[in-house]
């Protein structure tokens, strides 16, 4: 009897927990599925944090919170694969090689930047180390579950990515201190040298592991080195790579370098000159990450060209629009619309640049970036078509839970506090 009672209570707790946070139905909106077209007057059902059904005339399960989104636009949560929000620190600018740095250790779940970014319909970001170092820290991909434990925010089951940087920033930071690198030749040397050391380290450990397996006695493990440990993971493809690179020559350089060392280069960031070598980028199957119209703010950014998206799109480059800024991270949908001003790319392809393509760059395409059965229940609801520049986000949902609600958060509801 007593046992039954405990089980009953447990089941009840489990059920309320699930319905409270993970089940949700959005009813009657225009659904921009991204991968499967547009559905007018459609419904999206989220169960246990996953999208279980979507489409027209879907029966509404009972006992689940239903949100009427009639007249509104429902799209997958926006993804920013180059951000620096939610971090207490960004740049360990004391050494050009710092792979021992893990950005997850600087994560601040109560950071206000998470809340403010959610308001722009963003549900997932890769929040990154800065660009001072040739090899920086390991970035962390997070869902914007504001104020939840770090363990819940960090996306599990996908590779994290190490930050690398070429060009003017490391040159300036270390050259300015009278250290190497102060030239692009120095940049290349520092990178190459680090991987040669890492390769040696890996071989030592591989040998040790082999001998241990063979049952050999009296063997001592090699000395642990945290820098080398991370680079060993890069060599073993347990970590991907995101490289900050502006100029076309350096884009080609890093692609060749990663080919030579058999490394997984997943994204090129700040990729200003990408349009000059779209065939090389597409051929390497790496994502272009960048802004639409930033240019000229420094020498290596001088050839920024908003018309270049056409050329990259034609060449088959997977284009990702990033913010790199807590300000612009709040209106990536508006920045995406700028692509249409300068290029003849279909709108559904432009929407992919802030959803499905960054999901791909984060190796999360199977879980995010579109409204499809089985994907995470990450959703943004807009009052108008999101590429209409006068639209705004009304609601942001991460894995079935509402983290932003315009109707509760807006100054028009709460007041500015001085009236």
Partner 1 sequence: MNRKIFVFLIIGLFCISLVYSYDGPKILIKNATVVPVEGNPMNNTDVLIEKGKIVKIGRELTPPSSAHIIDASGKYVYPGMVALMTGVGVTGYPGAGSDINETGVSTPQMDPYDAINPEDPCIKVTRLGGVTTVMTASGTRSPINGKSIIMNLEGRLAQDLVIKRYAAQVFNMGAKREEKYPSTLPGVVSFIEEKLNKVKQYLQKKENQEKDKKEETENGKKSFSIDLEMEALIPVIKGEVPALFITNDEVSIRNALKIIDEYNLKGIIRASKGVLKYAPILSEKNIPVIWSGTSGIPGRWESFDLNYHTAAVLAEKGVLFAFDPGGGRLESRNVRNLPVPASLSVAYGLDEKKALEALTINPAKIIGIGQMVGSIKEGKTANLVVWSGSPLQMSSRAFHVIINGKIIPMKSIQTRLRDQYKN
Pattern 213-252, partner 1, x by CB under 8 A: ----------------------------------------
77 Cβ neighbours under 8 A, 6+ residues apart: 121, 122, 123, 124, 355, 368, 378, 379, 380, 396, 397, 398
Q: Which residues are 243's β-sheet partners?
A: 164, 268
Q: Which stretch, 41-49, 193-201, 214-222, 383-391, contacts partner 1 (CB under 8 A)?
A: 383-391
292 Cβ neighbours under 8 A, 6+ residues apart: 306, 309, 321, 335, 336, 338, 339, 342
Residue 183 interacts with partner 1 (CB under 8 A)? no
Surface-to-core class of residue 371, CB atoms within 10 Å of its CB (0-12 exposed, 13-18 middle, 19+ buried): buried
Residue 409 interacts with partner 1 (CB under 8 A)? yes
Show the tokens assigned to 145: 């579950």
Residue 334 interacts with partner 1 (CB under 8 A)? yes
Distance of CA 397 to the CA centre of its chain: 17
Nearer to partner 1, 237 or 298 (CB): 298
10 Å Cβ neighbour count for 61? 13
Q: Which stretch, 50-58, 183-191, 254-262, 405-413, contacts partner 1 (CB under 8 A)?
A: 405-413
Q: Are 115 and 326 in contact (CB under 8 A)?
A: no
| Beta carbon of residue 418, minimum distance to partner 1 (angstroms, whole number) | 5
Residue 189 interacts with partner 1 (CB under 8 A)? no
Residue 109 interacts with partner 1 (CB under 8 A)? no
| Beta carbon of residue 294, minimum distance to partner 1 (angstroms, whole number) | 7
In 3-state terms, what secondary structure has residue 283? helix
User: H-helix or E-strand containing 302?
Assistant: none
Instruction: Give 67-122 as a DSSP string.
Output: EE-TTSEEEEPEEEEEE-TTBS----TT-SB-TT-BGGGGB-TT-HHHHHHHTTTE
Q: Which stretch, 24-32, 38-46, 140-148, 297-305, contacts partner 1 (CB under 8 A)?
A: 297-305
Nearer to partner 1, 207 or 410 (CB): 410
Residue 387 interacts with partner 1 (CB under 8 A)? yes
In 3-state terms, what secondary structure has residue 289? strand
Residue 353 interacts with partner 1 (CB under 8 A)? no
Q: Are 291 and 324 in contact (CB under 8 A)?
A: yes
DSSP-derived letter for residue 240 is: E
| Beta carbon of residue 296, minimum distance to partner 1 (angstroms, whole number) | 4
Mutual angle of helices 332-342 and 308-315, in 10-degree steps: 90
Residue 293 interacts with partner 1 (CB under 8 A)? yes
Strands 393-398 and 401-405: antiparallel
Q: Which stretch, 54-62, 215-223, 292-300, 363-371, contacts partner 1 (CB under 8 A)?
A: 292-300
In 3-state terms, what secondary structure has residue 241? strand
Residue 125 interacts with partner 1 (CB under 8 A)? no
Residue 8 interacts with partner 1 (CB under 8 A)? no
Residue 311 interacts with partner 1 (CB under 8 A)? yes
Residue 276 interacts with partner 1 (CB under 8 A)? yes
Residue 176 interacts with partner 1 (CB under 8 A)? no
Nearer to partner 1, 113 or 230 (CB): 113
- Out of 242, 250, 324, 328, which residue is the one contacting partner 1 (CB under 8 A)? 328
- Out of 283, 296, 316, 346, which residue is the one contacting partner 1 (CB under 8 A)? 296
Residues binding partner 1 (CB under 8 A): 112-113, 115-116, 119, 275-276, 293-299, 301-308, 310-311, 326-328, 330-331, 334-335, 337-338, 340-342, 387-392, 404, 406, 409-412, 414, 416-418
């Amino acid at each position: 009897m007593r046992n039954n009672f405990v089980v009953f209570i447990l089941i009840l707790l489990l059920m309320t927990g699930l319905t409270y946070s993970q089940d949700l139905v959005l009813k009657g909106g225009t659904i921009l599925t991204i991968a499967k077209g547009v559905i007018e007057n459609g419904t999206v059902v989220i169960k246990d944090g996953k999208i279980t059904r979507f489409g027209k005339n879907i029966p509404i399960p009972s006992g689940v919170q239903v949100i009427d989104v009639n007249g509104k636009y429902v799209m997958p949560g926006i993804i920013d694969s180059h951000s620096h929000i939610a971090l207490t620190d960004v740049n360990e600018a004391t050494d050009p090689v710092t792979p021992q740095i893990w950005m997850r250790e600087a994560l601040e779940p109560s950071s206000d930047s998470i809340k403010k970014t959610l308001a722009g319909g963003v549900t997932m970001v890769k929040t990154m180390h800065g660009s001072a170092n040739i090899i920086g820290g390991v970035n962390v991909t997070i869902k914007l579950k504001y104020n939840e434990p770090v363990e819940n925010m960090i996306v599990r089951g996908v590779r994290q990515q190490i930050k690398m940087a070429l060009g003017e920033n490391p040159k300036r930071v270390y050259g300015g201190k009278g250290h190497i690198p102060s030239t692009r030749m120095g940049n290349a040397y520092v990178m190459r040298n680090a991987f040669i050391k890492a390769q040696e380290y890996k071989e030592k450990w591989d040998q040790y592991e082999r001998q241990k397996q063979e049952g050999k006695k009296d063997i001592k493990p090699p000395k642990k080195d945290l820098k080398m440990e991370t680079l060993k993971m890069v060599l073993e493809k347990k970590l991907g790579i995101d490289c900050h690179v502006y100029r076309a020559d350096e884009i080609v350089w890093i692609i060749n370098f990663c080919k030579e060392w058999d490394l997984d280069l997943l994204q090129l960031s700040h990729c200003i000159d990408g349009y000059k070598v779209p065939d090389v980028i597409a051929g390497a199957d790496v994502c272009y990450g960048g802004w639409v119209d930033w240019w000229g703010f420094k020498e290596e950014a001088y050839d920024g060209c908003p018309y270049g998206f056409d050329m990259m799109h034609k060449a088959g480059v997977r284009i990702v629009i990033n913010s790199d800024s807590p300000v612009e991270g709040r209106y990536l949908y508006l920045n995406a619309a700028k692509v249409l001003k300068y290029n003849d790319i279909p709108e559904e392809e432009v929407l992919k640049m802030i959803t499905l393509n960054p999901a791909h760059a984060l190796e999360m395409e199977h879980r995010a970036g579109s409204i499809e059965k089985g994907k995470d229940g990450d959703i943004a609801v807009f009052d108008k078509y999101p590429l209409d520049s006068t639209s705004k986000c009304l609601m942001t949902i991460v894995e079935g839970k509402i983290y932003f609600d315009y109707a509760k958060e807006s100054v028009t509801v709460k007041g500015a506090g001085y009236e």
